[in-house]
């Protein structure tokens, strides 16, 4: 009796391709706030497309979408993460578009060139260095699982900062002294490098996580 091995090969190939796709999946949203008991996500957690969040009654979350700069406040129900916004059933959602670094403006440093192009407010004019509206920026480096992020001021003498930890998100908030208003900085991890400039009015008001996020 002959054994048909092709279904087994097809299944193994499918599993391998699925695992490879998962390994290269990139986040599309970030959790900016989570309130209430039993919320299954944490603040500053990165979310991939297709993730499903079940919110118990009386709980809420705020999501920021990296590509569309869309900010969502979701009360209860089920939220399915999409490419640019969530699909919400059984709950309420309000949306607003804010200024942020678009995911389509990822740093050219990933292809061997230094720099982080930034598109704000839906315009198509790149700004370099990336202007950050908070003194505690967070850095998202796709594909980086660990390492030490080095932040060096360029326009004047200031102590170099090192931020070690698991990637891909490196958040300066709560990790040492904040950066200086108006400061021009080089940010580097391995062969990834970009430059940022902190807004001169940064830190005077609280800004959404999306507005302090730099992706490169």
The answer to whether the beta carbons of residues 57 and 76 sit under 8 Å apart is: yes
Task: Choose the weakest-confidence range: 34-38, 182-186, 207-211.
Answer: 207-211
Residue 125 has pLDDT above 50, yes or no: no
User: What band does 128 get if pLDDT is binned at 50, 70 and 90?
Assistant: confident
pLDDT in tens, 133-170: 999 999 999 899 999 999 999 999 999 999 998 999 99
Residue 216: predicted pLDDT? 87
User: What band does 100 get if pLDDT is binned at 50, 70 and 90?
Assistant: confident
Residue 117 has pLDDT above 70, yes or no: no
Residue 11: predicted pLDDT? 40
Alpha-carbon span 34 to 70, nearest angstrom: 17
The more confidently predicted of residues 39 and 108 is 39
Residue 113: predicted pLDDT? 43
Six-digit token pair at 86? 């969530």
All domains in the chain, ordered by first residue: 27-97 (no CATH), 103-215 (2.60.40)
Residue 76: predicted pLDDT? 97
**Stretch 32-42: mean pLDDT:** 97
| Cβ neighbours for 37, distance < 8 A, ≥ 6 positions apart | 56, 58, 59
Helix (H) or strand (E) holding 29: strand 27-35
pLDDT in tens, 11-28: 433 333 333 344 457 899
pLDDT in tens, 43-96: 999 999 999 999 999 999 999 999 999 999 999 999 999 999 999 999 999 999
Largest CA distance in the chain: 79
CA distances from 213 to 51, 70, 139 (A): 21, 14, 6
Alpha-carbon span 44 to 171, nearest angstrom: 9
The more confidently predicted of residues 111 and 86 is 86
| Cβ neighbours for 14, distance < 8 A, ≥ 6 positions apart | none
Residue 4: predicted pLDDT? 55
């Amino acid at each position: 009796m002959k054994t048909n091995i092709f279904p087994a090969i097809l299944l193994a190939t499918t599993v391998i391709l699925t695992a490879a796709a998962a390994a290269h999946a990139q986040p599309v949203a970030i959790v900016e706030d989570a309130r209430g008991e039993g919320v299954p996500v944490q603040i500053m957690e990165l979310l991939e497309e297709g993730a499903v969040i079940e919110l118990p009654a009386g709980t809420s979350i705020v999501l920021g979408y990296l590509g569309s700069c869309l900010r969502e406040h979701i009360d209860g129900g089920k939220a399915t993460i999409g490419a640019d916004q969530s699909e919400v059933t059984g709950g309420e959602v309000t949306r607003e578009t804010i200024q942020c670094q678009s995911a389509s403006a990822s740093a050219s440093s990933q292809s061997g060139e230094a720099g982080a192009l930034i598109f704000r407010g839906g315009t198509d004019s790149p700004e370099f260095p990336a202007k950050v509206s908070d003194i505690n920026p967070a850095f998202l480096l796709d594909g980086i699982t660990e390492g030490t992020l080095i932040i060096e001021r360029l326009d004047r003498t200031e102590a170099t900062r090192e931020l070690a930890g698991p990637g891909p998100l490196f958040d300066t908030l709560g990790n040492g002294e904040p950066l200086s208003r108006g400061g021009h900085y080089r940010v580097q991890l391995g062969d990834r490098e970009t430059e940022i400039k902190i807004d001169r009015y940064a830190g005077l008001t609280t800004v959404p996580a999306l507005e302090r996020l730099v992706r490169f």
